[in-house]
Amino acid sequence: MTHRFHPWFGREFVFVERRLAWDQDRVTLADERGQVVSLPAGWTDVDPPDPFVVVAAGRCPFRVQDLLAVADLIDTLRQGMSDG
């Protein structure tokens, strides 16, 4: 588990499968007792680390594409408020 704020952060699980469920990329994992759980793939290390995150080495908490997405969302919300 790689999601920093998840209570299972740092625990290791056995990979079972990966699939799309309700348009969400998910992985199914089994714990040491064999209990199976499904989690968002982004909370695990199933994919290699994002190259930007590796190069930033903790110096930049946000990716450009994420900041641009937030800026677009803010613009959309502002337009909605001015139309109302």
pLDDT in tens, 10-32: 889 999 999 998 889 999 999 89
Q: Has residue 84 got a pLDDT over 80?
A: no
* Helix runs in the chain, H state only: 51-56, 64-83
- Backbone dihedral angles phi then psi of residue 81, each to the nearest 5 degrees: -70, -35
Q: Has residue 51 got a pLDDT over 90?
A: no
Least Cα distance to 30 among 16, 9, 45 occurs for 16
The verdict on pTM exceeding 0.75 is no
Torsion over CA: 41, 17, 45, 7 (sign): positive
